[in-house]
């Protein structure tokens, strides 16, 4: 059951993760209006000052918001924890030829991990963030639900947060549309009401992705070939490509191949080969997948041993897909879809839903 955040925060000290963006600023406004004692906590998770990351500007925006609203601002540096618990995972996944999603780990380890511990030291009764999601309870345990705005729902990225953390968390924006949030910021006179939404990962920012990754992982050129073995060119590193990728292959416009686009359909780590195919090739599609490190919000749902019918996403903003999930061993699950899925990428997460409730998720390991 979704719980109204207003009923939970009145008279409570709420530690709000304030990023310096419009979403968390509006969360602060709504918490104040609901009678919470709001303390803002701004996190620095990346320290390289190379002109791409906006951390310094975001901190100043957070200060301005707190001054406008009259709430205290705390600032903490979690860059060491971020590198150890998130960034090293990010690099390891790319070394393994997979496509990671560090935002999921950042939420679990940082925003609802070390942040949660720090909030307790500040005397916080509850946590709050500007995520578009909703918290509640099921059978007395913390639960996660989709945000009301389907275009902004962020439950996909929050699926690995523990039930215990969710029981202590409120999401003030959960029942709002993005347009409503902008209007609230404007009506409240917040200076950042028209600030552009951040995209991607902070430590990458707007910088060229290949340039950034090459500073940590050396490029390793190799052959680009078709499933039949025909050499189509050379890639600069498997880490720069993901399954289903269409842009940047530089093999279009060949006179002998027609005009259909080319896609990445596989990677062979053994011989460092990137497999490409033209058009809607069968290798682009999957009927099933095996996922590892399954993480359930609370206890694992009933019926997994025999096959649980539910819905799933294999990427953010994908429409929910009907499937059957079956528990294997050692935290593995098999997912069989009713309809074939396009461009499922190992290293990404498959996230499971029962209507608007998020059940949890797992790391995509194998597709077929």
Query: What is the tens place of the pLDDT at every residue in 130-145?
Result: 999 999 999 889 999 9
Most confident listed range (38-52, 85-99, 230-244, 310-324): 310-324
| CATH number corresponding to 6-187 | 3.40.50.620
Better-predicted residue by pLDDT, 324 or 5: 324
Tell me the fold of 219-279: SH3 type barrels. (2.30.30)
Q: Where do the CATH 2.40.30.10 domains begin and end in the chain?
A: 284-367
Of 13-17, 36-40, 237-241, 345-349, the poorest mean pLDDT is in 237-241
Is the pLDDT reported for residue 151 higher than 70?
yes
**Which residues are identified as catalytic?**
106, 202
Cα–Cα distance, 140 to 58 (Å, whole number): 37
Structure tokens at 301: 């749902």
Is the pLDDT reported for residue 201 higher than 80?
no
Average pLDDT over residues 160-182: 97
Q: At which residue do the structure tokens 């028209």 appear?
A: 194
How is domain 284-367 classified at the architecture level of CATH? Beta Barrel (2.40)
- pLDDT at res. 253: 62
Closest CA to 362 of 337, 310, 325: 325
Better-predicted residue by pLDDT, 165 or 53: 165
Buried b / exposed e over 246-262, threshold 16 CB at 10 Å, is eeebeeeeeeeeeeeeb
Give the SS3 label for residue 287.
Answer: strand
Buried b / exposed e over 200-214, threshold 16 CB at 10 Å, is ebbbbbeeeeeebbe
Q: Where do the CATH 3.40.50.620 domains begin and end in the chain?
A: 6-187
Q: Where are the beta strands (DSSP E) in 47-197?
A: 73-77, 126-128, 133-138, 141-146, 169-170
Distances (CA, A) of 322 to 71, 218, 227, 319: 45, 40, 30, 10
Contacts of 331 (CB under 8 A, 6+ apart): 292, 293, 294, 362
77-121 pLDDT tens trace: 999 999 999 999 999 999 998 999 999 999 999 999 999 999 999
Q: Where do the CATH 2.30.30.280 domains begin and end in the chain?
A: 219-279
pTM of the predicted protein model: 0.94
Please report, rounded to a whole number, the percentage of residues in the chain having pLDDT higher than 70.
Answer: 95
């Amino acid at each position: 059951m979704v719980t109204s955040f207003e009923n939970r925060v009145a008279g409570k000290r709420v530690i709000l993760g304030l990023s310096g963006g419009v979403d968390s600023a509006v969360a602060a406004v709504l918490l104040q209006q609901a009678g919470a004692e709001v303390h803002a906590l701004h996190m620095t998770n990346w320290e390289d000052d190379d002109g791409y990351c906006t951390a310094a500007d975001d901190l100043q925006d957070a200060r301005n918001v707190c001054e406008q609203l009259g709430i205290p601002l705390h600032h903490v540096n979690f860059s060491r924890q971020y590198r150890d618990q998130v960034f090293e995972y990010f690099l390891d996944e790319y070394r393994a030829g997979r496509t990671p999603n560090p935002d999921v780990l950042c939420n679990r380890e940082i925003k609802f991990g070390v942040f949660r511990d720090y909030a307790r030291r500040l005397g916080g009764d509850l946590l709050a963030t500007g995520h578009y999601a909703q918290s509640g309870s099921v059978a007395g345990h913390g639960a996660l639900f989709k945000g009301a705005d389907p275009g902004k729902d962020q439950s996909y990225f929050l699926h690995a947060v523990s039930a215990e953390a969710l029981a202590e968390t409120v999401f003030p924006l959960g029942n709002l549309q993005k347009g409503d949030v902008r209007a609230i910021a404007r009506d409240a006179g917040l200076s950042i009401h028209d600030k552009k939404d951040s995209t991607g990962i902070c430590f990458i920012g707007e910088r060229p992705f290949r340039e950034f990754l090459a500073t940590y992982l050396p490029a390793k050129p190799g052959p680009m070939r078709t499933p039949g073995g025909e050499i189509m060119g050379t890639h600069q590193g498997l880490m720069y490509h993901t399954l289903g990728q269409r842009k940047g292959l530089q093999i279009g416009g060949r006179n002998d191949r027609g005009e259909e686009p080319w896609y990445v359909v596989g990677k062979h780590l053994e011989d460092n080969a990137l497999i490409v195919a033209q058009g809607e090739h069968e290798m682009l599609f999957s009927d099933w997948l095996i996922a590892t490190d399954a993480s359930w919000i609370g206890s694992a749902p009933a019926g997994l041993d025999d096959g649980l019918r539910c819905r799933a996403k294999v990427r953010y903003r994908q429409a929910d897909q009907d499937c059957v999930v079956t528990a294997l061993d050692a935290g593995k699950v098999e997912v069989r879809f009713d309809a074939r899925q396009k461009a499922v990428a190992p290293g990404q997460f498959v996230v499971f839903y029962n209507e608007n409730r998020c059940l949890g998720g797992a790391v995509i390991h194998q597709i077929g």
